[in-house]
């Protein structure tokens, strides 16, 4: 008989705790924290959607004030598979639409005994701002153009599942860097795991604060792709006004879109990644979506596993540290 899931998880965890109480940025996590999350994620991945009672008696609220398919659904399935009562609220269906403030809304959710609030919003910095007001654990599920830390965790797992290590691997990130929270977390995790990071994009998509990272900028995608182990394409973020920074989507796709010719310029074992949603034939050409080295759906599968791991580790701390909060 195979070892029950709960026992496998406990045996692998070996009483280890994360060094954080909640998650806002990849900067919050040490390499050891990330390794622990990924070790447990692999066990959850093997278990598919097997149910446990690890989070029985907890309430998790997915407060998604901006649209989402992958992140919201995977957090919901993750919570339910772990035995938590998981519910979703959106901006349009909540009293935010009547003018209630974020703080009042979040305090209301905390008063309903939410152990954890998973927050997605178009405002950069909202998760850390509201977290100071409530005892509930807050996870950033994507804030404006700032960060999307659980996306970076699943990105890293997908890269390591295939390449085993990132040390010295060439990762080329192509696209709308300046509006992308996916980039904000990805660049931080790649730097922690010692990848060689290259970025290629129109100059108008370059943010100002890039000098804090060890990255190489390249003006030409054709010059950058040779030797690449991972191509990571970013979506042009129309909802954040990105179209105003390029002549047209057609011109963008001609110069930066990942098509079969460009994919073939990378290493023969290179993988193609995109966080989704993909704008087909702009970011990534349709004919590559089903390529065996295109990892977009593997990323979705890893997202569920990584989020289960994170929910369990954050909800079930063993060192009895309590989150303290203050009204400001
Ligand atoms: N990658 C990602 O965040 O996708 P969703 O917006 O669908 O959650």
Per-residue confidence band for 197, with pLDDT thresholds at 50, 70 and 90: very high
Contacts of 298 (CB under 8 A, 6+ apart): 158, 161
- Tell me the per-residue pLDDT of 159-182, one tens digit each, with 9 for 90 and over: 999 999 999 999 999 999 999 999
**What is the b/e burial string over 303-318, where b = at least 16 CB atoms within 10 angstroms of the residue's CB?**
bbbbbbbbbbbbbeee
235 Cα: distance to centroid of ligand 1 (angstroms): 11
DSSP SS3 for 98 = helix
Per-residue confidence band for 1, with pLDDT thresholds at 50, 70 and 90: low
- Judge if the beta carbon of residue 68 lies within 6 A of ligand 1: yes
Mean pLDDT of the residues in the chain: 95
320 Cα: distance to centroid of ligand 1 (angstroms): 33
* Ligand 1 pocket, mutate which of 63, 68, 237 (most atoms under 8 A from CB): 68
296 Cα: distance to centroid of ligand 1 (angstroms): 12
- Tell me the per-residue pLDDT of 277-311, one tens digit each, with 9 for 90 and over: 999 999 999 999 999 999 999 999 999 999 999 99
3 Cα: distance to centroid of ligand 1 (angstroms): 34
What's the whole-model pTM score? 0.97
Percent of the chain with pLDDT strictly greater than 70: 98
Q: What is the model's pLDDT at position 165?
A: 98
- Judge if the beta carbon of residue 136 lies within 6 A of ligand 1: no
84 Cα: distance to centroid of ligand 1 (angstroms): 22
- Tell me the per-residue pLDDT of 34-46, one tens digit each, with 9 for 90 and over: 999 999 999 999 9
- Judge if the beta carbon of residue 69 lies within 6 A of ligand 1: yes
Q: What is the model's pLDDT at position 239?
A: 87
Helix, strand, coil percent values for the chain (each to nearest 5): 45, 15, 40
Nearest CA to ligand 1 atom 3: 71
Q: Is the pLDDT of residue 219 over 90?
A: no
Q: Is the pLDDT of residue 327 over 80?
A: no
- Judge if the beta carbon of residue 275 lies within 6 A of ligand 1: yes
Nearest CA to ligand 1 atom 5: 68
- Judge if the beta carbon of residue 71 lies within 6 A of ligand 1: yes
Q: What is the model's pLDDT at position 253?
A: 96
Question: Which contiguous run of DSSP H or E holds residue 172?
Answer: strand 170-174
Q: What is the model's pLDDT at position 28?
A: 98
Per-residue confidence band for 242, with pLDDT thresholds at 50, 70 and 90: confident
257 with 282: CB under 8 angstroms?
yes
* Ligand 1 pocket, mutate which of 63, 64, 65, 71 (most atoms under 8 A from CB): 71
């Amino acid at each position: 008989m195979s070892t029950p899931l709960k026992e496998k998880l406990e045996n692998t965890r070996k009483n280890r705790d994360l060094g954080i109480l909640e998650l806002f940025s990849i900067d919050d996590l040490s390499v050891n924290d990330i390794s622990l999350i990924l070790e447990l994620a692999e066990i959850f991945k093997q278990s598919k959607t097997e149910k446990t009672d690890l989070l029985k008696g907890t309430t998790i609220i997915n407060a998604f004030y901006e649209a989402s398919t992958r992140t919201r659904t995977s957090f919901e399935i993750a919570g339910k598979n772990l035995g938590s009562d998981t519910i979703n609220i959106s901006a349009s269906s909540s009293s935010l639409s009547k003018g209630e403030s974020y703080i009042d809304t979040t305090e209301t959710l905390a008063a309903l005994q939410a152990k954890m609030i998973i927050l997605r919003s178009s405002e950069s910095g909202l998760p850390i701002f509201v977290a100071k007001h409530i005892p509930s654990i807050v996870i950033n599920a994507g804030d404006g153009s700032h960060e999307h830390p659980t996306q970076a965790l699943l990105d890293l797992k997908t890269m390591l599942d295939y390449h085993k290590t990132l040390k010295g691997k060439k990762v080329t990130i192509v696209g709308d860097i300046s509006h992308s929270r996916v980039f904000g977390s990805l660049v931080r995790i790649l730097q922690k795991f010692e990848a060689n990071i290259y970025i290629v994009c129109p100059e108008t998509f370059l943010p100002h604060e890039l000098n804090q990272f060890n990255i190489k900028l390249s003006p030409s995608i054709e010059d950058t792709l040779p030797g690449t182990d991972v191509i990571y394409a970013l979506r042009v973020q129309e909802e954040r006004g990105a179209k105003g920074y390029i002549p047209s989507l057609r011109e963008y796709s001609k110069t930066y879109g990942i098509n079969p010719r460009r994919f073939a310029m990378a290493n023969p074992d290179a993988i193609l990644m995109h966080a989704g949603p993909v704008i087909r034939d702009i970011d990534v050409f349709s004919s590559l979506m089903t390529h065996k080295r295109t990892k977009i759906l593997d990323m979705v599968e890893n997202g569920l596993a990584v989020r289960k791991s994170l929910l369990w580790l954050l909800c079930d701390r063993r060192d009895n540290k309590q989150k303290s909060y203050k009204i400001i």
